[in-house]
Structure 1
Amino acid sequence: MINSVFKYAYPHAKIRALKGRLLSQEHLRALLHTESFEEVLHVLQMTSYADSLGDSSAADMSIPLLTRIIYRSLFGDYEKTIRSVARDIQPLFIFLYQKYELVNLKTILRGIISHADPQDIAALLLPTEQYTLFSKQSLLEYHEVHHVIEHLQGSFFQYPLNRALRRFEEEQEFFPLEMALDLHYYHSLWDTTLKLPEQERQESQRILGMWLDILNIVWIIRFKEHYHFSPEEILNYTIQHGYAFRLRERRQLAHARGSQEVREYLKTTFYAKAMEGESEVLNTLHVALYRYLVDQLHKCFYGNPFHIRVLLGYLLIKEFEISDILTIAEAKKYGFSLEQSQHYVIRMGRDSYV
């Protein structure tokens, strides 16, 4: 206990201060009840995002620009966390930050495949500046996927891209590259938890394991309904780690005959409470699951505060908050109603699951 106090006292104080800057439920409701994109920006100017927005005017603002601006807030929080934690747990937070390097690389590859203008691709890239795994500017100079892959030899992304290149060349589809990159990242993330001290390993695997379980569920439904993959193919494209789901559960989901059967199966699992009251009218299963995860993340702040759960819980909640802001901003920009929008906002779920 004493060791935990010494280890987490400083980062805990940092995170508690940052947590106080998260959007309140009142702010989220105010955002949802706006009538336009301009009103969304006005509400954000009354929150902790005001500093990031600065003097930006609605006339100059676009969704990609807003995305880059508010993600700077998250990246700043990651950098503060990484600087404050002990060296033995630092690699996990660096690797979580580097998920956005993965996002940027996929954006670049997708843009090259669709023959987008490099300036248009650059406008979509997130402003990662620390712990980078490649030069965004260098990759934007290429017009062919195989040139990007050649440039990335020797990097973290070398193995998955080399493995997927042949299939990409045969099909000229982004999917094999995307899945190779995603699976390599999430399997490597799990491997990073294995190098943590025992207590931190168990706590981080519970939190990150739930996140990976939900990613697998979302992917399995996508593979079924969009790609019409066989159960065997689906299993090949799932993450092999998680908290409540092992191979048996993933196989059960892979053999389900549709999203309704997936829902029925989930009601018999650890995630049954997430399914209570879940709407089947809209395709919001992933929202119900992420709302449940956010509720579990809030519980990280109960009881003894001197543990890794507080840090992971805050950073993941902040990520969901940014996702919600962008969901609302896009909904208002394209004229979706309050009723349509609120079904997709993750932090507006039930107060608790008991």
Structure 2
Amino acid sequence: MGSLLSYSGLSTKVRAMQSKLIKEVQYQEIAQMPSVTAIVSYLKKQPGFQDLWADLDENSLHRGDIERLLTHTIYQNFAKLYRFANPEQRTFMALYFKRYELAIMKECLRKVFDKGHAELDLSLFKDFFDRHSKLNIEKLANSSTVEEFISNLEGSEYYKPLKKLGNDYTPRIFDYGMALDQYYFANIWSVKEKLFKKRDLEEITKAYGNKFDMLNLQWIYRSKKYYHMTPADIYALLIPVHYRLSRREISALVEAGDEEEFKHILDTTYYKKRFPELVPEKLEAFYNLNLKNILETESRKYPHSVIMLYSYLYHKEHEVDRLTTAIECVRYGLSSAEILKYIAKT
């Protein structure tokens, strides 16, 4: 009963916001739009965008503007839910929010590694991050070297994971991105039992456990197939979490001598039993399918739990990814059939 009372108001709010996400029939309409301007004009009339974009002049927008505005809708909707949530629910939202911080930091790192050639305007997001984050995104965006970027993180939880890189080698942007991901994922797993109880803990464990296992499978396969990395280097990339994949299975996959042996070992895992059609080449697709299925199924079964929040935030980000894909396809003049194929893959 406590969970029902605690989540009933937020569940109603989430359901209302979920109903405003772009539906498949609307993607079909978008795929037939003649221009990017027409897509923005169309979105302005949709329930999920009409309040947020009411004063927007679609004729004056550039490519980067539209992508930032789409991303901003994620933050705006997060802020709506945060204001509505109670302290218990905000605990999960604060943990989830860190993925937004990671995305911003990776954008700033890309600018640094591009030696200032890449444009980076985060002004649209400043108010949101000022309210929810301790990071100074203005200082991070203005960093001109990696050393300055890391120095601007001092005092934050991300300083140590990045500072320790580079003692024995010169890190690439990939290394910094992986260090941030590993820290974030390991942090979620280490604090979940302190922050969550009962049903919420079960749902967090299931959703993130599956996610981390599937990410590790992808990283092992890619590292071996495309980069021919040594087992020692592969181990360094992995999320230190074992949910449905045992240490023995992970070791066997990392140590596999060739792709055929990797496939044979993959065939003995829980995930092959769950998805009989799973093959190494489709690990990314099945990662997305698995996470989507878990979030949709569990949020229907337990609408008065934290998984309902996670599911909405995931689907809102997925909407923005698909709309970004559609806009790029229209910009390059692809046919509506081709656009729908790309949207379906996103």
So what's the TM-score if we normalise by structure 1?
0.83
User: What aligned pairs does 1:220-299 form with structure 2 within 5 A after superposition?
Assistant: 220-241=220-241, 243-256=243-256, 266=266, 268-272=268-272, 285-299=283-297
Tell me whether 1:138 sits opposite 2:139 in the alignment. Answer: yes
2:26 alignment counterpart? 27
So what's the TM-score if we normalise by structure 2?
0.85
1:7 alignment counterpart? 6
1:352 alignment counterpart? none
Q: Tell me the distance in 2 between the aligned counterparts of 1:266 and 1:42.
A: 47
Name whichever of 124-133 and 227-236 sits farther off: 124-133
CA deviation after TM superposition for structure 1 residue 259, in Å: 6.9
Tell me whether 1:171 sits opposite 2:136 in the alignment. Answer: no
CA deviation after TM superposition for structure 1 residue 135, in Å: 0.9
CA root-mean-square deviation: 3.2
Q: Secondary structure at the match of 1:54?
A: coil
Closer, same or farther: CA 221–9 of 1 in aligned 2, 3 Å: same
Q: Do the aligned residues in 1 keep the contact of 2:192 with 2:201 (CA within 8 Å)? A: yes
Q: Secondary structure at the match of 2:166?
A: helix
User: What aligned pairs does 1:38-57 form with structure 2 within 5 A after superposition?
Assistant: 38-47=37-46, 48-57=48-57
Q: Do the aligned residues in 2 keep the contact of 1:34 with 1:332 (CA within 8 Å)? A: yes
Runs (5+) with no aligned partner, structure 2: none
1:101 alignment counterpart? 101
CA deviations on 1:100-142 (whole Å, 9 max, x unpaired) are 1111111112211221257x12269856423213111122333
Q: Do the aligned residues in 1 keep the contact of 2:74 with 2:316 (CA within 8 Å)? A: yes
Q: Secondary structure at the match of 1:165?
A: coil
1:200 alignment counterpart? 200
CA deviations on 1:251-285 (whole Å, 9 max, x unpaired) are 344345677876675555444488567899xx764
Q: Tell me the distance in 2 between the aligned counterparts of 1:204 and 1:77.
A: 21
Q: Tell me the distance in 2 between the aligned counterparts of 1:214 and 1:110.
A: 26
Q: Tell me the distance in 2 between the aligned counterparts of 1:183 and 1:147.
A: 22
1:307 alignment counterpart? 305
Q: Tell me the distance in 1 between the aligned counterparts of 2:276 and 2:340.
A: 17
Counterpart amino acid of residue 213 in structure 1: D
Counterpart amino acid of residue 11 in structure 2: H
Q: Tell me the distance in 2 between the aligned counterparts of 1:79 and 1:251.
A: 42
1:154 alignment counterpart? 155
Counterpart amino acid of residue 198 in structure 1: K
Closer, same or farther: CA 178–69 of 1 in aligned 2, 3 Å: same
Q: Do the aligned residues in 2 keep the contact of 1:92 with 1:192 (CA within 8 Å)? A: no
Q: Tell me the distance in 2 between the aligned counterparts of 1:265 and 1:64.
A: 44
Closer, same or farther: CA 57–279 of 1 in aligned 2, 3 Å: farther
Closer, same or farther: CA 258–81 of 1 in aligned 2, 3 Å: farther
Runs (5+) with no aligned partner, structure 1: 349-354
